[in-house]
Structure 1
Amino acid sequence: MGRMARSFLQSLLKLVNSVIGLVGMGMILYSFWMLRVWFRQVGTVWAASPGSTPPWFIYTFLGLGVTFCLITCSGHVAAETANGHCLSCYMVLVFLLVMLEAAVTADVYLNRDWEEDFPEDPTGRLNDFKDFVKRNFEMCKGIGLVIVAAQASSIFLAMVLRALGPDCGSYYDSDDDYVPARLPLLKNHVQHTPYIADPHDSSRNDSWNVNRRIDLGS
């Protein structure tokens, strides 16, 4: 029963963790699309004017997508092994990511001049993204809630798995796995002990030979 519950929690953690991975892959694809449009507008990277600002928004979006995917990979490894150290590292990474998201969200909602905290975006993709969020605010809010719920659920499930501890019996699927450990004992039982002559038998043979010589002599 305990093994079934552990397996269910591991599968659930992988499923919830996959949501974070899907978001990360979506961010990476969107970043590649923005880079393609940017390079098409500029011509080449080196054709930009020397004083132009790098497209920090695109690279930041790409970096966040890669971070999401790396955290997803670490979460799958932690869920598969159910190792305490892996689960602890995974929880710390997700918690730091949630804190970063909370800080950015608080700055946007509480600071009216939040755009001044970021450098100028020469690509204009930040304004496009902001306009898209305003036009589809309800959908974006729902997506944000799903992401936050997935991250919170990942932390909770990782804590439960870490509290349960490692499953020592998970490496043995059947009793056949124990056979190699028993083989040396079986071999010891199968081995035949060397024949040791009984000293009483030798004494009987000597006395029988003496009696036979006496009878022959007589």
Structure 2
Amino acid sequence: MGRMARSCTQSLLKAVNYALGMFGVAMIVYALWMFRVWLRDRESDHAETPWFTYTVLGFGVLMCLITCSGHVAAETASGCCLYFYMVLVFLVCVFEGAVTADVFLNSNWEEDFPEDPTENLDKLKDFIKDNFDICKWIGFTVVALQGMGILLAIILKALGPHHVRYYESDDDYLPDRVPLLKNYVPHQSYVVSDQFGPKTRFSEFENQP
């Protein structure tokens, strides 16, 4: 029962991380598109560094790294990997919460960010305003997936890794490990018969006076 629960938790954690990985790949593709447009127009209009493009690209790479670390943590169920994954996701959630709180609670939140020479931030802001319902559900989905990832990691840590049993006697459980060995020759027991015992005793009898 414990092994089945552990396997289900590992599969769910991998699925959650795959979804987060798709979100990260989408951000990387969007950042590369913005970077391509900036390279095309930088000689005429934009000469400054596109910080918003690099921020989106870095965040997308970070999401992909979280996906890889979550997959490793789910596969190994190691305490160190799970702790690293949970801390990484928690820090991302804190960053997202801080940015969201600044945007909704601060009316002059645009002053907290440097000016974007590519104007992609303004375009994204206008797109979110025009499609607020869709963007809201996308944001809720990402946050929910991150929360599920932390919860599943905690459950998997509580279940613990797969237990490997070691036995003092190798003879009782050797057939289970035979397929992993090459050119394995099974142990054979030999019975030494006393073939020369009677002859030796007869020779001794002949030598007596």
Fold similarity call, TM over 0.5: yes
SS of equivalent residue, structure 2 residue 71 = helix
Distance across 2 between alignment mates of 1:155 and 1:67: 16
Give the alignment of 1:111-130 within 5 angstroms: 111-130=106-125
Q: CA deviation at 1:146?
A: 0.4
C-alpha change, 1:144 and 1:184, in structure 2 (3 Å) is same
Partner of 2:178: 179
> Could you tell me which of 162, 170, 190 is aligned with 1:167?
162
Q: CA deviation at 1:115?
A: 0.7
Q: CA deviation at 1:185?
A: 11
Equivalent residues of 1:53, 1:120 under 8 A apart = no
| Cα root mean square deviation, aligned | 3.0
> Could you tell me which of 83, 87, 97 is aligned with 1:88?
83
Higher share in helix:
1
Task: List alignment gaps of at least 5 residues for structure 1.
Answer: 212-218
Structure 1 residue identity aligned to 2:27: M
- Asked whether 1:78 is paired with 2:78, we answer no
Distance across 2 between alignment mates of 1:105 and 1:7: 35
C-alpha change, 1:115 and 1:178, in structure 2 (3 Å) is same
Instruction: Name the TM-score, length of structure 2 as normaliser.
Output: 0.85
Give the alignment of 1:1-218 within 5 angstroms: 1-43=1-43, 52-169=47-164, 177-179=176-178, 187=187, 189-191=188-190, 202-210=200-208
C-alpha change, 1:62 and 1:204, in structure 2 (3 Å) is same
Structure 1 residue identity aligned to 2:151: F
Q: Provide Cα deviations, 1:68-124, integer angstroms capped at 9, x if missing partner.
A: 001101101111111111111101100010001001111111111111111110100
Q: CA deviation at 1:166?
A: 0.8
Q: CA deviation at 1:207?
A: 1.6
C-alpha change, 1:91 and 1:191, in structure 2 (3 Å) is farther
Distance across 2 between alignment mates of 1:135 and 1:181: 61
Bigger Rg, structure 1 or 2: 1
Distance across 2 between alignment mates of 1:81 and 1:95: 20
Q: CA deviation at 1:164?
A: 0.9
Structure 2 residue identity aligned to 1:137: F
Q: CA deviation at 1:138?
A: 0.5
C-alpha change, 1:125 and 1:95, in structure 2 (3 Å) is same
Partner of 1:216: none
Q: CA deviation at 1:41?
A: 1.2
Q: CA deviation at 1:180?
A: 7.2
Q: CA deviation at 1:37?
A: 1.0
Q: Which moved more, 1:4-13 or 1:62-71?
A: 4-13
Q: Provide Cα deviations, 1:107-165, integer angstroms capped at 9, x if missing partner.
A: 11111111111111010000000000011001000000000000000000001111111
